[in-house]
Amino acid sequence: MNQETFPIVKDPTPSLREHSRVLSMDEILTPEFQAYLDKLAATMLVEDGVGIASPQIGRNIRAIIINPTGTIESWINPEIIKASDTMVESEEGCLSVPGVYGIVKRHKKIRVRAMNRHGRMEEMDVKGFPAIVWQHEIDHVNGILFVDKAERMIKTGKHI
């Protein structure tokens, strides 16, 4: 993988609060977009993240990279199509909100629909930590940051 990376956009950059646009099949299948996904994944790895969304590097397109289980996955136009009523609390941080963590309630199980990097639509049921990562990254492409949903904030080890 090419180790060239993107700079991370930090809050309060306005583009982090914008809805991202849907990508067409023609865009997804270009060599340029495939290289973009590789560079986005490299950025996530260099920054020690478990997920990254395009708005975090200043591009408002619906593309995310997730790595909650040690396998890097690229997803385009992701959406949650079903969510459990049961919620779980998680401590979350974000590459775009450095040094701040928060306790966020997320759905315990979700069903997501997204295109893989080859343009194939997939639907899957996700639970546990991967479900939290999916929800966090889908929030990004919808212009939402975890701080908007956090019930309690923790900054550098101290509750705020």
Binding-site annotation: residue ranges: 94, 136, 140
Does residue 52 contact residue 137 with C-beta atoms inside 8 Å? yes
C-alpha 27/C-alpha 83 separation (Å) is: 29
**Residue 73 is among the residues annotated as catalytic for this protein:** no
CA 6 to chain centroid: 15
Q: What are the binding residues for Fe cation?
A: 94, 136, 140
Secondary element (H or E) of residue 138: helix 128-141
Q: Identify the CA nearest to 131 among candidates 70, 76, 77, 90.
A: 90
Q: What is the DSSP letter of 67?
A: -
The token duo for 16 is 């982090």
Q: Identify the CA nearest to 99 among candidates 52, 160, 44.
A: 160
Q: What is the DSSP letter of 60?
A: -
Active site residues: 137
